[in-house]
Structure 1
């Protein structure tokens, strides 16, 4: 027999005081049959712990386009003519300061500044500077809010990606999507509130499932990965010889068994387990529907680009993200690897932009034309930026840049964010923030605010301490709020 700890004992004592207490706990009910007077767990885990947002939400859903590897801000958005003038000269000591270097450049005897080989122009009524690498993004700049002063604490990929996606550089904390699922619940009972899409690639930094994990939150809040192909979600379809009726009957009995176990242990994870089984059955219908692009007209595929017809590409995932937004999925996260250019940057970043530019811009434009952008928050960015000095030897085709956490660029669109603006500034070398720094914790606080959540009030008690996404930091960047 399972033994109860002190907390579970007190919880059990409270629950068993009266039948009303049992029926009032998160919607738990007693079976009508006297023989089956055990706790039966309904699928109530899709309701957020907050019940309703702390404040009116500007964004009902979010799509996060995560560019893994660290896109170079100097080649894309942060135009710096001074780098052209001082190309090949040593980075000034007063600019470099005491910045920590990675082991890849710490041994270099010289750190020469390197220009971008790509041209920049101003676009839109906002006059935003955008590189020639991003012709499609250039067309939607008046719908974007560029944040050019993002800062992080980590200088290497794994801790930096973990930090920007979970609020902490060491693995084990809940991801951003898990926190939103935990706090706000789901808008669609037939699809998970947190869905993850990875571009089919063989290159780039490793992507680990813990980046969309639930950490210490109930497991129902972890991201569900959709894969390209006939079985987008593993183990959802019935085994051979099992039909929907059999599945339903099995789940009913399984729910009763879980109820018996819950009555003994008071383990809240049992709620998540049965909720996931129930969700899996509903997804047997909803997942094939959302992944079936046959109802999309040709002009939509043309809008997202030719890759959108190939499942598993970034373009196809952007189109799928729009379809999920139409179905009110709370949080969709796309991962695209390959932005880590320590050498061969010109060719490498050109290829990355070919794969992502058109689809990213199309997603914003498509959401807007369907009336979804106003309440859908779109975020684009990587885990850090790149250095203004060269890693290794410079050539026009093969120069590289190292990791740089001090200053990098991200953009946001829709969902209560001001459009057609740039926020924050860096120095003439895109090396240090000179105006309006935005730390990762501030970014998270702002995202939560736009989703209607006070980042200081959404907490979870674990091992005697109350945790939150922003830890003990973070402030809302009010100047970018519409």
Structure 2
């Protein structure tokens, strides 16, 4: 009986060396697509398929504060006094321009314009408008670039979140962190290159692990979720009765078996499996150490606010993100749910901003005082915005807002970003972008650019196409916000 063999091993031994050529092309196709035979300019070495980087990166790492549910731009960053003047009047057809609505407000006879009950004021050297809901971030505006003209095609949560996180509204594509890990590799040996943190106990739209998945890339590039509690990473600790020495001995014997199989079959998947086992073993000591906030000085804890002592809170996760960044984690993704305010905007926004304002500002200040903000890209934003009209009943003190993909606000700070900038403009009704629109693909292209990657040249063959984070539609770098 013939010994079992892998497809790659069979190709390598198939007549006259043609199989070896085919196997070599199959193994190298991803990196060939990434490099595209173009010599880099000012690039630096990396551990990924893009080595060196296409050009000198401005950021070494990313902390993405994703606000799931769609924060209202009209209560945070996009001041529209005209809505207060026209409170209760119908949304003009000339402004709506036939845009489709969701089923939640599309059957309303009247779409009454709703101004914000919250006051806005100018802050910073350039007079950035900021809502009273964010007094701490108001003090940080000279460090951030507010982009008011982001837009998307997706009008429902799942495709919109999937689009922001993977570059495609359909599930199954690699997430941003997976692309960065694949392209640039890891900067540490004891922690994952891509870590996910989710605020504990928050309701709202569901989050799926595919949002931080590797898609058609190998599984080792997917994000690793850290949880609050005694076991930050599930199944990492040894079972009862198994000592660290026993675990080490078991891994050594298992590695011996895998290497024997590797020599026989030449299957790269076996080497990946060995590496993952070894990483898990090293993480047994590194993860509890980095997740332990007890050694932070009281001054730092006070900076992040009272919630920082609650494991799994947004504040605790922001502080943990800074600790992970210090240890060389390349992409840290925070998810904070609860922004889906179809009703009770005043109460809901007070709660959400109360939980996120101080920790977000503290993260920027903490990174700055440690000399890390210059090479750490920090991002804040959700999957779409909210309507300028009230969904349901409108009163002087209460209203709701439906999904709105035509315009919403995000901010970026740190590595390569010019502080004190407000980019893009929406119409006086806060409904349409009228200047400097920023599509989701533009956002992705800019993020990759800041990490030293030309978004055209990071691709993987998938279903016969060169798949990219930015897809096949045009995408531009938002040069106006770059330092």
TM-score over 0.5 (shorter chain): yes
Quote the residue 1:281 is aligned against.
Answer: 281
Deviation string, structure 1 residues 5-50 (Cα, Å, up to 9, x no partner):
4x66324667998xxx9xx99xxxxxxxxxxxxxxxxxxxx93122
Structure 1 range deviating more: 85-94 or 372-381: 85-94
Offset at 1:308?
0.4
Quote the residue 1:478 is aligned against.
Answer: 479
Quote the residue 2:61 is aligned against.
Answer: 61
CA distance in 1, matches of 2:251, 2:115: 62
Quote the residue 2:33 is aligned against.
Answer: none
Residue 166 of structure 2 corresponds to residue 186 of structure 1 = no
CA distance in 2, matches of 1:270, 1:357: 46
User: What TM-score do the two structures reach when normalised by structure 2?
Assistant: 0.91
TM alignment of 1:67-466, pairs within 5 A: 67-262=67-262, 267-466=267-466
CA distance in 1, matches of 2:402, 2:288: 42
Secondary structure of the 1:411 match is strand
Structure 1 range deviating more: 371-380 or 450-459: 450-459
CA distance in 1, matches of 2:326, 2:459: 29
CA distance in 1, matches of 2:234, 2:171: 24
Aligned residue pairs, count: 456
Q: 2:202–2:336: 8 Å Cα contact kept in structure 1?
A: no
Offset at 1:151?
0.8
Offset at 1:98?
2.0
CA distance in 2, matches of 1:397, 1:242: 60
- Are the structure 2 counterparts of residues 97 and 219 from structure 1 closer, same or farther at C-alpha, using a change threshold of 3 Å? same
Offset at 1:465?
2.2
CA distance in 1, matches of 2:480, 2:350: 33
Structure 1 range deviating more: 387-396 or 115-124: 387-396
CA distance in 2, matches of 1:96, 1:262: 62
Quote the residue 2:40 is aligned against.
Answer: none
Q: 1:220–1:275: 8 Å Cα contact kept in structure 2?
A: no
Deviation string, structure 1 residues 298-342 (Cα, Å, up to 9, x no partner):
111110001001110000000000111111210000000000000
- Are the structure 2 counterparts of residues 9 and 414 from structure 1 closer, same or farther at C-alpha, using a change threshold of 3 Å? same
Offset at 1:268?
3.7
Q: 2:47–2:184: 8 Å Cα contact kept in structure 1?
A: yes
Secondary structure of the 1:456 match is helix
CA distance in 1, matches of 2:50, 2:296: 36
Deviation string, structure 1 residues 191-211 (Cα, Å, up to 9, x no partner):
100000000024111010000
RMSD: 2.0
Offset at 1:113?
0.7
Secondary structure of the 1:122 match is strand
Secondary structure of the 2:129 match is strand
Q: Give unpaired runs (5+ residues) of structure 2.
A: 29-45
Quote the residue 1:32 is aligned against.
Answer: none
Q: Give unpaired runs (5+ residues) of structure 1.
A: 26-45
CA distance in 2, matches of 1:193, 1:421: 30
User: What TM-score do the two structures reach when normalised by structure 1?
Assistant: 0.91
Structure 1 range deviating more: 249-258 or 333-342: 249-258
Q: 2:68–2:383: 8 Å Cα contact kept in structure 1?
A: yes
Q: 1:87–1:114: 8 Å Cα contact kept in structure 2?
A: yes
CA distance in 2, matches of 1:174, 1:390: 36
Deviation string, structure 1 residues 353-405 (Cα, Å, up to 9, x no partner):
01000000000111011100000000000000000011001123431000000
Secondary structure of the 2:233 match is coil
Secondary structure of the 2:162 match is helix
CA distance in 1, matches of 2:54, 2:13: 30
Deviation string, structure 1 residues 452-482 (Cα, Å, up to 9, x no partner):
1111111112233221111113221112111
Secondary structure of the 2:416 match is coil
Offset at 1:214?
0.4
CA distance in 2, matches of 1:386, 1:268: 47
TM alignment of 1:12-51, pairs within 5 A: 47-51=47-51
Offset at 1:263?
5.2
